[in-house]
Amino acid sequence: MKKMLLLRDRWMTNRALQRVVLILSVFGPATIAAMADNDAGGVATYSVAGATLGNPILFLLFIITPLLGITQEMGMRLTLVTRRGLADLIRERYGVKVSLFIFLSLFVANLGTITTEVSAIRTVSGMLAIPVAPFLIGMLLIAFVFITKGNYRLTQTIMLIVSLFYLTYIISAVKTHPDWGMAISNLFYPHGVAWTSQYMASYLVIGMGVLGTTITPWGQFFISSFAFDKKMDKDTLKYSQLETYWGAFLTDFFSFFMIVATASTLFVRHLTLTSGEQAAEAIRPFAGDLAGTLFAVGVLAAAFMGLVIVPLSTAYAFSEFFGLSGSLDSDYQKSKTFYILFFIQLVLAASITAIPGISLFHFAIATQTLNAMILPLVFFYLINLTSNKKLMGEHSNNAFQKYFTSAASVVIVLASVFTVVAVIFRW
Amino acid sequence: MAFVSELAGRPVTDIDGTRIGFLKDLVARPYKEFSHPVVDAIVVSSEKGENAIPYADLAALLSAAIPLKRPLAEIAPYEFREDDIRLVEDVLDKQILDTDDARVVRVNDIELIRVNGNVVVSNVDIGVLGIFRRIGIERIGLWFARRFHPDLSVGTISWDFVEPLVHDKFMRLKVPVEKLAELHPSDIAAIISDLNRAEHSELLHKLDLKQLADTLEEVEPDFQADLLEHFTDEKAADVLEEMAPDEATDLLAELPDERRQDLLKLMQTEEAEEVRELLRYAEDTAGGLMTTEYVSVLPDMTAAQTIDHLRKVGEEAELVYYVYVTDEGEHLIGVFSVSDLIIAQPLALVADFMHKRVVSVELGTQQEEIAQIVAKYNLIAVPVVDPENRLHGVVTADDALDKILPTAWKKRLPHFFGAVE
């Protein structure tokens, strides 16, 4: 017993250890959101980006990473300071109509993302030669069970599989001996290709896709709901902020290698990406003949993760917009509304993929572009709320945070307009 | 009857019919003797800024355009008071407390009625129909409700049962929280966990020490520590004294070293000693889980004496259902339940009707093991002894099963303890 006492005392007095525990305890929402950003739609989008555009698309990561970090940090800070979710605050400050409009936009964008995940599952079933219908229904059922009965360890396991899958891209990228100088210099300025008008149009559209899959509207709501749900405290603000930056770095660290791997395997051979088998070529340097299977399993795990988290974020946002901020807890999860919303999204997504002629890769780019177009709308409220001195006190935005994100929003709006023009007149 | 959402945005016209702006907010004043606040003024916004116009100067309020009685230039602007409620800014779309059902709800709309020439806030709309009205499709909502979902239309609560809560730090609770006092501590705890910091700070300060202590016992330890931050050290120490020692210990264990020592110094010596003792044990062992507020008697006491003793100390004890029997050296030698005691003849000696085979655990016994013992022997508490069999405390079943049972099951268990009064 003496020994136990000693241990306890040492535990309580060891400040450094306490701090580590504190960091670990907030190590969560931002990293989870960041990892989930690289869902099946993400893999598909990065694959298309690397295969179609090569290294120059890496330049976007240089801008997207800080933007992701800063906006996620805003959402987290907003919730930690006000103890309200983002959707909550929009409802309280801007009323029902604005809430409804944003919710509907979010619903459509999320439905697109979920459809991408479902169509990824279809692609995987083709690659693994499993009949589509039973496989798909099975996966949807598992997702539903996961939501109702899922636990933290299972979530971690799936995250781990996905992370390992991303590692195969890193190894493959290294094994193809790409021109690292080109890859890294392209992070700072895009160069090394012929800038034809065709290429520039693709760059614009796919670039929007890359933006939309990395920084998502649902991600903005998710991080604030999650911070609320975990009942995190204002005192942990500093650590939470660090974590959001780390999460942003991690997402784009993986994205970087994914793009380099596809660029040095597919882009150099001028292959247009239309099938999962082709996309799997990017990890052949590492996986050899297993590339197809490994890609299929990795994409499946990534798709499953998106299939669970994205509909959840819709349901949570719905509850905040039209119900209560405290309703992320078990009471709401047991409510009929929650299940109906969840079910509707999965069924709608599954029906959309049943329309013939929808290719995972085209659909991914289209929906991620849609996601990107909705971003400025979400940013507008996020920036306004976090800049509000009355609401945030000493934690309101500094000039850099405010102007960087505002400028980015303007650029995204302009890019959206050009994208629409490019799609209508060229594609 | 009218709704605030409908009035907001309506044009306000001067005596000659020229538009001076749009209705932005309604200012209602609460009265002590009347539970519904009365609209006292409106806030009109125009290009030139905002005007607050007293209700007395309006020719009509519940009309499509709101005309003034006198020229705008002659009207003395309304002077805001501390306890005024701005219906749009403070209440609409906000979360409020429904004291009748002890829950937090969101206000979708506010209903006004005309009473003796005044306009009075009657109900708060928290239903889906309120949302339909706000987006201008109330008819579709009503049709839908009649067809498929009759419950949909019932979504209002009377202002009687509402406590407006304010989320911004600069605002205060407008109405005293009298009704809260009637709520069960676990209901208050549930409400508190739905609120943000500024709000629960307001709420906690309205409770008396006993209520505070009871409420704190109902929330999770890490959240308890969080809540304690709202109080001065003196008040925190008072609350800790009021709490059961095992609960106070769990709470103190969550605090940083210095703060814990400060608080212990401020607590009364007796209570502080008990807590210090409990703090020595790891949280998930019998020593950490036990409470020292049990009842023990000597074997040579009679049943009647024991009952007298229980009347005296029962108030303080956390657990009176079991009475433990110890010898002069505090060694545990028996136990009996209150029902054993009542059935026993008044002059019977404790030693004669007590059970001599007592199931007990040691100070270092792990929580899982305690839970198994509690479940196996169907106990509602188990005594904790040291290697010399000296009684140190008891672990109640709810503390033993805590963290082991999923929360959902726990809620289904009857509340054996703490639910008295």
What pLDDT score does B25 carry? 92
Comparing CA positions, the residue from A172, A174, A176 lying closest to residue A291 is A172
Amino acid in position B259: R
Of B161-165, B283-287, B293-297, B408-412, least confident by mean pLDDT is: B408-412
Half-sphere exposure of B17 (CA within 13 A, CB side): 0
Of A105-109, A376-380, A393-397, least confident by mean pLDDT is: A393-397
Interface of A with B (CB under 8 A): 1, 4-5, 8, 12-13, 82-84, 91-92, 95-97, 100, 231, 233-234, 322-326, 330, 390-391, 393
HEC-encoded secondary structure of A369-403:
HHHHHHHHHHHHHHHHHHHCHHHHHHHCCCHHHHH
Comparing CA positions, the residue from B83, B251, B95 lying closest to residue A82 is B95
Closest CB to A4 among B196, B257, B364: B364
List the structure tokens of A85.
């979710």
CB burial of B376-402 (b: ≥16 within 10 Å; e: otherwise) equals eeebbbbbbbbeebebbbbbbbbbbbb
Is residue B229 helix, strand or coil? coil
Judge: A324–B104 Cβ closer than 8 Å, yes or no.
yes
Report how far apart the first and last C-alpha atoms of chain A are (Å, whole number): 75
What single-letter DSSP state applies at residue B77?
P
What pLDDT score does A195 carry? 84
Closest CB to A97 among B108, B135, B169: B135
Amino acid in position B244: A
Residue A317 C-alpha, separation from nearest chain B C-alpha, in angstroms: 15
Closest residue in B to A388 (Cα) is B168
Instruction: Name A213's Cβ contacts closer than 8 Å, sequence gap at least 6.
Output: A37, A38, A39, A41, A42, A45, A46, A364, A368, A371
Q: What is the mean pLDDT of chain A?
A: 81
Q: How confident is the model at residue A71 (pLDDT cuts 50, 70, 90)?
A: very high
ipTM: 0.71
What pLDDT score does B185 carry? 72
Q: How confident is the model at residue B325 (pLDDT cuts 50, 70, 90)?
A: very high
User: Mean of the pLDDT values across residues A16-37?
Assistant: 57
Closest residue in B to A83 (Cα) is B196
Closest CB to B135 among A5, A13, A100: A100
Q: Which residues pair with B285 in a beta bridge?
A: B366
What pLDDT score does A9 carry? 38
d(CA A338, CA A316): 8
Q: How confident is the model at residue A10 (pLDDT cuts 50, 70, 90)?
A: very low
Of A190-204, A315-329, A400-414, B330-344, least confident by mean pLDDT is: A315-329
Judge: A325–B280 Cβ closer than 8 Å, yes or no.
no
Q: Which strands sit side by side in the sheet containing B295-297, from one edge to the other?
A: B295-297, B322-326, B332-337
Backbone angles phi, psi at B41, to 5 degrees: -165, 165
User: Mean of the pLDDT values across residues A79-99?
Assistant: 88
What pLDDT score does B358 carry? 87
Instruction: Name B151's Cβ contacts closer than 8 Å, sequence gap at least 6.
Output: none
What pLDDT score does B168 carry? 41
Judge: B94–A92 Cβ closer than 8 Å, yes or no.
yes
What pLDDT score does B240 carry? 84
Q: Which residues pair with B44 in a beta bridge?
A: B23, B51
What pLDDT score does B404 carry? 61
What pLDDT score does B311 carry? 87
Judge: B363–A1 Cβ closer than 8 Å, yes or no.
yes
Closest residue in A to B91 (Cα) is A92
Judge: A325–B193 Cβ closer than 8 Å, yes or no.
no
For A207-258, the pLDDT digits (tens) are: 999 999 989 999 888 888 777 766 556 667 787 788 888 888 888 888 999 8
Of A112-121, A186-195, A316-325, least confident by mean pLDDT is: A316-325
Residue A273 has pLDDT above 90, yes or no: no
For A40-64, the pLDDT digits (tens) are: 888 889 999 999 999 999 999 999 9
Of A43-52, B254-263, B329-338, least confident by mean pLDDT is: B254-263
Q: How confident is the model at residue B407 (pLDDT cuts 50, 70, 90)?
A: very low
d(CA B45, CA B48): 8
Q: What percent of chain B has pLDDT over 90?
A: 10
Residue A147 has pLDDT above 80, yes or no: no
**Do A395 and B175 meet the contact criterion of CB atoms below 8 Å apart?**
no
List the structure tokens of B384.
């904790």
d(CA A363, CA A266): 20
Distance of CA B337 to the CA centre of its chain: 33
What pLDDT score does B373 carry? 85
What pLDDT score does B215 carry? 81
Residues of chain B with C-beta less than 8 angstroms from the C-beta of A391: 168
Judge: B95–A324 Cβ closer than 8 Å, yes or no.
yes
Comparing CA positions, the residue from A244, A247, A218, A226 lying closest to residue A371 is A218
